[in-house]
Each structure stands twice: as C-alpha cells, then as structure tokens.
Amino acid sequence: MFLGLAALIVRLATIDHEPLWLDEGYTLLFSGLPLPQLFTVGGAHEHPPLFYLIVHLVRSIHDWYLIPRIVSAVAGALAVTATYFLGYRLYGTAAGLIAGVFAVLAPMHVWYSQDGRGYEVACLAVILSYLALFEALNDNRRWWIVYAVATAFCLYAEYTTVFALVPQGAAIVVAYRRGALRRLLLAWAGATILFAPWAGMLIGNASDVASSYWIPMPTFGSVTTTTLQFLGLLTPCPEDPCKGMLAPVPGLATVTEPLAIATICATLIVTAIALGRRRSLEVILATWAWVPFAVVIAIAVRRPLYLDRVFLDATFPLYILAGAGIAWLGRRARIAYVLAVPILLVSVLSISNIVTAQSNPDWRTASLDLANAYRPGQSVIFYPGVIGSIVHAYLPGWHATYERPVWYNSYLDVPGWQKRYAGMSDPRLRVMQIREAARRGTGVWLVAQDYTGLNRARHWFVAHNYRLLLSEMYHNDTRIELWSRKSLNDLGSVVVRSGFGTGWTLTGKARVSEKVLTLNGNSSAIRHLHVTPGATYFFNASYRAYPPSTPSVQVLVRDRSGRPVATYLNRYGRLIDSFPRTQWYNLPVSGVWLNQPFGFVAPPGSSTATIVISNRWGQVSWRDVAAYRER
C-alpha cells in the first residue's frame, strides 16, 4: 500500500503541468457522450471502450477536465502495487520492493499516468492478468476466474495488450506439468467469450488500420529510443516534433545506443538461460519484455503499429527481473543493493525533465487568448473538431455565437459520416462545414493545429475574399486565426504607422528608401511599443524576398521590468509570433510582394512588445509594416 500511495502522490503532484493534447480531447469528447453513442462512436475510433466508460462514470459524479488524467494516475498507482505483489510472489519481499520502487519512479509510467488516455488502465489489466496467472498456476483455483476476467479486460482496455499476452502461451508447459492444463484452456475460453461481444467492432477497427494509418515504419532508432524510455533515460512525448529529453547525466548522449543494445541483448540472454534450465516462469517474464516488440515489428511488414506506448505494459517484467537479480546478489553481499541507486537516480532526473519542461501543444494559453479576443457575433471553427472539447475544457461555460467542429472524411469522428460521405472528396465535405460557419458570423476564428487539410481550409477563406487579420501560434503548433472581410483599419487604431522613420533601430546592412526597408545579409530593424494585457494587436507586413533569404518577423512581449512574459511555469519567454509562419505562401518568391497580417493577444503582465524584422542572408525588402490595436 505504501508503494501505491507514493506512486499516486508522484503522479498527482504535477498532473496539470502539461496542457491537454489532441488525443485527450477525444477522451473528453467520447466519454461525454451518452452510453449508446460512447460505444458506437468511441468504439469506432481504433480504441476499445473500457477507459471511456470508466471516465464517463466518474464524470457523471463530478465533471472536470482532469478526470481522465486522475483515472490514469489511480490506475498507474494500482499497477505499481500489483508489480510489488507479482515480484513478491515470484522472488520474495526484497525483489518485490525493488521492482515496485522502479515502477513508482519510472518516467515512462509517470508520464502516461498524467495522460488522459487508457494506457495505464491497460497496463493495470495486463499486470493483473499475469499476477492472476502465476497465482492460479500455484494451484490457487479461485484465481483462474480472476485470470479470465483480467485477460478479457486487457482487450477491452487496449487492443495492443494482446502483444503482451502472447508470452502467456508458454504457461501451457507449466500448466501441463502441474495438472492444470484444462483449467488454463477453460480460462482462455472464458476470456474469449467475455470479449466476443466486441469482436465485430475489433474487426472493423483492424480493417480501418490495415487500409490506411499514419504510424511510420519502425527503425532501429525506434527500438533503441523505446529501450531508453524503458530504462528511464529518455522521457516520452506523444506528438511530433517533440522527441523526448535525455536525463541530464554527463556523457549520457555518447553511450545511449550501446546501453540500449546491451539491454536488448541481456533480455535475450536471460530468455536463453531460462530456456536452457527449463525455468518456465522466467521464460514467460523474459519473453513478456521482448515478444511485443518482435510481434509489432513483424506486423510492420504489412502495416506499421510501432509507438512507444504500445509497449508500456512490457516494462513490468524488466522491473521484476532487475529486482530479482539485485535481491539475489544482495543476499550474498548487501552492498549489491546499491546497484538500484543509479537506476533510481536517473529516473528522478528524467522525472525532473517531465515536470520542468513542456512538451504538449499549449492549448491552455491559446484558449484563454481566444476568450479574450473573441467578440460576440463572430463564428469559431475548430479544426479538427475535437479541439472544441479541449477549448471548452479550459473555458467552462464559454460559448461563441456560432461554433462549428470541422471534420474531414479520411478520418471521420462523427457517427454515420463514413457511409454518408463515402466517395465524396475531402474538400467538398470541409467546404460545406466552413461555408456554414462563415455565413453565421461577422468574422471567423480558425482554432487549429497543423492537421491534414488545414492549408486547404485557409485557401477557402482567401478564395472568398476573407483577410487574415490575426494569426497567433503557440507551443507545438497550436494556433488561433481571425479571418474577416473587414480591413485592419476598420477593426483597429494605428499604434505603429507604416514606414521606418522615428522609433526604428536598424542593424547590419539595413537601409530605408521611400518607406521600403531592405535587409542585406545578417541585418534587422527593431521597434518597441507599449501594450495592454488582454488587448488584441494586429500587424501587417508586406515583403519581397530573393532566395536564399530568410525573412522573419518576431514579436517578443516583456513585463515592466523588461523580462520576457512567462507562459510555461514562469520560466520561459513568450515568443508571440514568427513570420512567415507557414508553407502556404511557398516562400520565398523572387520579385513578388507578399502580404500576411498576423497578431497576438497581450498576455497577463505584459507591458511592452518588441518587433524584430530580420534576415540572415540574401536580400529581403519590406513595406507597409504597421501595427493596430483593436478598438
């Protein structure tokens, strides 16, 4: 119980540090549906329904956007407790304690215990399945029923748990020797019967994944990266471009690959020794650690499924085997227990990375800025539609005059649309949704992430005479954009007039001629202005670039003391915008003047903003650079 409580404290202490990310939006969306829709819609979304159902039941008691993460944290803490009991039952108290402590501080489990997805619930189901199996094989007949139920729960929690269950096939040998083969087969039959009602949905999900899916082909680097996460040397991270962080250990970066290879080889050697000595329990444990990798890599020949979270439940045998090995050595020389210290120390350092840096897209700040900048009568488009669940989680009770979730037919999340729009091209469906939102509002907010079809959605606005008045980008490509047929002059009062006269500071080879700024090579123009927290600012900039130039506009907001305004744990400067920001404009284009307004919502504590127009090499010309504050 002490280990479980410690694990729960570690997981809950910083559970709200990371903002919600896209997949957690799906959890909020599906778990908030009525039960019939939860099963038909959520179940059609490549994941079984158990986690959504648990979150739904808890939210019916108290609805809070952190409920999915709390469910994960509790499941993670219970999995730690189960790890201790499994290690204790197999190898004694010391082995169980060491394995449990490893699980308490495992960065990979701390991360996913703070993630509102079903992976820790699946881990709990898997560890309970193995615990029940080993108890049942010790002639404890009541545990066969528990084993059948836990195994079925594995599949209801996450389909990929089947890869972790494959090594249980070796239990046939143990069961045969102990006269329990019939009970084992009956337990497997019972688990199959319990899961049978969901088999049709599983087949549908599998066919969807087999036909088209986004996961890339695994590489040797994928395997070594996951192994480093298993060892606690690398923090996980669910979304590109985030790749996780190494523990801050001097020289670690130079030995990561040898460490990963040594770990893989050690696991295979333990398997071979266990096979040679006919130690079936150790064979099951060792294969539990590496068989999921082998199966997924074999499947990748047809359809890649390799993600680090797929193998999360394969970490437990490593903790148990490591605990057993250290305990065995400790019985011969107590000094051997010190071997656990460096492993735990590295885990603590990796956890410090998790709680001091931010990896997820910053929907928290984007949502608050949207609420500040939104004006009644405007429409809001969420692209993809699940972003609406995230925004409303951060803005309970807030609603726009008209809101529209926009989906696209290659990855539909609305019941019945797969058939209704079968054969209809993606643009037609998206255009129908955007047109409706534009018709309802005086202006349209596009709240989006870098997602399939996003640039085509922007093109619709341009083709229908909309102007991009504000475009603010946040950590990990979260963005809010305001589109309107009105001009900047209609919406705001000038705070920085067009031209580069008084107030601008030029550096490098920068020159001004007839209100046109030309930057040659590494040069810049800088301008400061006062801002009001919560106010909305629009910018305009036209430029002409010649390859290989690097045109850029950045706005850095500072407080009264001159320090960058913090957005991440009061530690990081807030880079409001960088321009040009997208590939939409096919930059740079020689000799053609391009224009893109952008802007930001001044964050709390802000006092001044610094505009930096810069270039690194080549030549760039700028004109019509101006700033407006919303009236």
246-261 residue pLDDT tens: 898 888 889 999 999 9
Show the tokens assigned to 270: 């333990």
Query: In terms of domains, do 336 and 462 share one?
Result: no
Q: How confident is the model at residue 126 (pLDDT cuts 50, 70, 90)?
A: very high
8 Å CB contact between 414 and 421:
no
Average pLDDT over residues 6-16: 97
Among 45-59, 204-218, 410-424, whose mean pLDDT is lowest?
Answer: 410-424
Q: How confident is the model at residue 573 (pLDDT cuts 50, 70, 90)?
A: very low
Q: How confident is the model at residue 379 (pLDDT cuts 50, 70, 90)?
A: very high
C-alpha 100/C-alpha 81 separation (Å) is: 7
Domain of 51 in residue numbering reads as 2-356
Report whether the peptide linkage leading into residue 384 is cis, meaning its omega lies within 30 degrees of zero: yes
Query: In terms of domains, do 516 and 593 share one?
Result: yes
Query: In terms of domains, do 250 and 272 share one?
Result: yes
Of 356, 371, 392, which closes a domain? 356
Of 356, 380, 407, which closes a domain? 356
8 Å CB contact between 150 and 130:
no
Three-state DSSP state, 516: strand
Angle in degrees, CA 142, 145, 149, rounded to 5: 145
Strands in 501-548 per DSSP E: 504-513, 516-530, 536-546
Among 111-115, 194-198, 342-346, 453-457, whose mean pLDDT is lowest?
Answer: 453-457
Query: Per DSSP, what are the bridge partners of residue 447?
Result: 382, 480
Q: What is the pLDDT of residue 107?
A: 95
Length of the chain: 631
Q: How confident is the model at residue 25 (pLDDT cuts 50, 70, 90)?
A: very high
Average pLDDT over residues 39-60: 86
pLDDT score of 375 more than 80: yes
Q: What is the pLDDT of residue 43?
A: 59
Query: Per DSSP, what are the bridge partners of residue 379?
Result: 402, 444
C-alpha 36/C-alpha 129 separation (Å) is: 28
Query: In terms of domains, do 60 and 87 share one?
Result: yes
Angle in degrees, CA 455, 457, 460, rounded to 5: 115
Q: How confident is the model at residue 544 (pLDDT cuts 50, 70, 90)?
A: confident
8 Å CB contact between 139 and 180:
yes
Q: Which residues of 230-248 are buried (b: 16+ CB within 10 A; e: fewer)?
A: bbbbbbbbbeeebebbbbe
State the DSSP H helix or E strand holding residue 470, giving kind and residue range, or none if neither: strand 467-474
Q: How confident is the model at residue 401 (pLDDT cuts 50, 70, 90)?
A: very high
Q: How confident is the model at residue 616 (pLDDT cuts 50, 70, 90)?
A: confident
pLDDT score of 53 more than 50: yes
Average pLDDT over residues 472-493: 86
Show the tokens assigned to 425: 């091209």
Of 486, 519, 547, which closes a domain? 486
Q: What is the pLDDT of residue 582?
A: 39
Q: How confident is the model at residue 580 (pLDDT cuts 50, 70, 90)?
A: very low
C-alpha 30/C-alpha 457 separation (Å) is: 25
Average pLDDT over residues 188-215: 81
Average pLDDT over residues 196-216: 74
Average pLDDT over residues 561-578: 52
Could you tell me which residue, 577 or 447, shows the higher pLDDT? 447
Q: How confident is the model at residue 597 (pLDDT cuts 50, 70, 90)?
A: confident
8 Å CB contact between 444 and 420:
no
Q: What is the pLDDT of residue 472?
A: 85
pLDDT score of 411 more than 50: no
pLDDT score of 569 more than 80: no
Query: In terms of domains, do 343 and 367 share one?
Result: no
Q: What is the pLDDT of residue 631?
A: 77
Three-state DSSP state, 482: strand
Query: In terms of domains, do 63 and 134 share one?
Result: yes
Query: In terms of domains, do 602 and 506 share one?
Result: yes
Query: In terms of domains, do 469 and 500 share one?
Result: no
Q: What is the pLDDT of residue 208?
A: 63
Where helices occur in 22-160 by DSSP H, the ranges are: 22-31, 35-41, 50-61, 67-91, 93-104, 107-113, 119-137, 142-157
Percent over 70 (pLDDT), the chain:
90
Q: What is the pLDDT of residue 591?
A: 67
C-alpha 461/C-alpha 381 separation (Å) is: 12
Query: In terms of domains, do 583 and 477 share one?
Result: no
Q: What is the pLDDT of residue 486?
A: 87
Q: How confident is the model at residue 84 (pLDDT cuts 50, 70, 90)?
A: very high
Q: How confident is the model at residue 408 (pLDDT cuts 50, 70, 90)?
A: low
Query: In terms of domains, do 279 and 213 share one?
Result: yes
- Give CA separation, 40 vs 44, 49, 257, 484, 600, in Å: 6, 9, 44, 38, 40
Amino acid type, 430: R
Q: Give the domain CATH number at 451.
A: 3.40.50
Q: How confident is the model at residue 583 (pLDDT cuts 50, 70, 90)?
A: very low
Average pLDDT over residues 32-41: 83
Could you tell me which residue, 212 or 329, shows the higher pLDDT? 329
Q: How confident is the model at residue 410 (pLDDT cuts 50, 70, 90)?
A: very low
Query: In terms of domains, do 469 and 438 share one?
Result: yes
Could you tell me which residue, 526 or 593, shows the higher pLDDT? 526
Q: What is the pLDDT of residue 572?
A: 31
Please give the tally of structural domains in the chain: 3
Query: In terms of domains, do 345 and 441 share one?
Result: no
Amino acid type, 535: A
pLDDT score of 571 more than 50: no
pLDDT score of 152 more than 80: yes
Most confident of 215-224, 264-273, 422-431, 565-574: 264-273
C-alpha 74/C-alpha 76 separation (Å) is: 5
Q: What is the pLDDT of residue 44?
A: 56
Q: Give the domain CATH number at 571.
A: 2.60.120.260
Round the average pLDDT of the chain to a whole number and report it. Answer: 87
